[in-house]
Amino acid sequence: MVVITSSRSQIITLCYQPDPSKRDRRQTFPSCSFKSDPIRENDFQVIKEFLEETRTRYEDISSFPYSVHGIVRVDLGNGFYKTGTGILIGSDLVLTAAHNVSDYDGTKEKYANIVFIPGINEEAIPFGKFNVIESYVPDKYLETWKQEDYALVVVDGNPGSYAGYFGLHVAEKDQLKRKELHVIGYPGYVRTLDERNESLFLSGEGRHQMWGAKGTNWFFDDGKNGEFHIGYRDILTTGGQSGRGVFYQEKGTNEYYVIGVHVLGRDGVDAYNSATWITRERFDQIQKWVGQFRKNLISSEINLESRNGRAKVKNLNLQRQKLETLA
């Protein structure tokens, strides 16, 4: 995650699109078949009833920009899984919801076994699976299990080098208004009729599909206790889509910037869905987490070298030590 613009009014990080000529052009990809339960959207437990499916399914998702989205899969043991959504914001950095990586219903602890699967399309996994080696959630979330619902996970590998990643745009409200927002992820349920004329569940084995919607009817909701959410009435969401990036495309370019993390779905008259808005304070927290991880990584490599009896650290990769700032 590289900062390319930093001023008093806004912060923008790098949006990276891989070279299309280097794209893997295999006709088939490795497969990964599993059944999972969608992680519900914060404290909303029941499946929404809606008459019409307004989301679009994306099928050619092995290339940018769809490839940056993926499933955050929690392994509960004995073949049981729970899934949410995450989005790449760096070569090994995934932004998601805090309730995707913390067991807020049970142990009140972070899950121990999580993988990130970018660009999964039913059973096809064009980039493979990546183990989460560290996850970070705000202290306030661990106190309330509701406020400050966002998280950063670091994966073992560099999927963003091949799948790409989106930038972050941290700015004042006036700079973000009137942008068309996209919300893309992996729902566990869609209102599409199957061969039995029933609504289709997508958490079954081999049924993981990417769906999304976009719209301009959204607003900032400061909420209670300074929660600072982004609300949207016309963008449909269901369980499994928590953690997906709320983003816009810069006009006339192939650049995409995340401004929030989808966390909450509501039902009823005048209800709206919402995302945790990435404010400057939240960006600063993400930046601290990245720095903390890089520092710990370097320390562990130094300790490993010491245990092996070598006085000097050799071939230590410092390129990802910190968030670099470009003028």
Q: For the stretch 246-271, what's the b/e string if a residue is b when 16 or more beta carbons lie within 10 angstroms of its beta carbon?
A: bbbbeeeeebbbbbbbbbbbbeeeee
How far is Cα 317 from Cα 294, in angstroms, rounded to an integer?
10
Residue pair 208/122 in contact (Cβ under 8 Å)? The answer is yes
Which of 136, 137, 118, 138 is closest to 128 using CA atoms? 118
Whether 326 shows a pLDDT value over 50: the answer reads no
> CA 113, CA 121: separation in Å to the nearest integer?
22
Cis, bond preceding 65 (omega within 30 deg of 0): yes
pLDDT at 267 over 80: no
Main-chain phi, psi angles of 152, to 5 degrees:
-120, 130
Residue 72's beta-bridge partner residues? 84, 116
Tens-place pLDDT, residues 76-115: 999 899 999 999 999 999 999 999 999 887 888 999 999 9
Burial class (CB in 10 A: 0-12, 13-18, 19+), 326: exposed
116 CA to centre of own chain:
9
pLDDT in tens, 22-32: 666 555 678 88
Burial class, 200, CB count within 10 angstroms (exposed 0-12 / middle 13-18 / buried 19+): middle
Structure tokens given for 205: 């084995």
252: amino acid identity, one letter: G
- How far from 174 is each of 216, 222, 227, CA to CA, in Å? 14, 14, 18
Q: How far apart are CA 120 and CA 91, in angstroms?
A: 17
Whether the predicted pLDDT of 172 surpasses 80: yes
Vertex 284 angle, CA 281 and 287, to 5°: 155
d(CA 94, CA 67): 13
Confidence grade of residue 311 (pLDDT, cut at 50, 70, 90): very low
Give pLDDT tens digits for 288-297. 999 999 898 8
Query: Residue 135: pLDDT above 90?
Result: yes
The Cα-based distances of 283 to 17, 152, 169, 276, 290 in angstroms read 22, 11, 9, 12, 11
For the chain, give the mean pLDDT.
85
In the chain, what is the greatest distance between 2 CA atoms, to the nearest angstrom?
69
Kindly list the structural domains of the chain, giving each domain's residue range(s) and its CATH number in brackets, ordered by start. Answer: 3-19+30-282 (2.40.10.10)
Determine the length of the chain. 327
Which is it for strands 167-171 and 256-264: parallel, antiparallel or unpaired?
parallel
pLDDT of 301 over the 90 cut:
no
Number of Cβ within a 10 Å radius of residue 223: 13
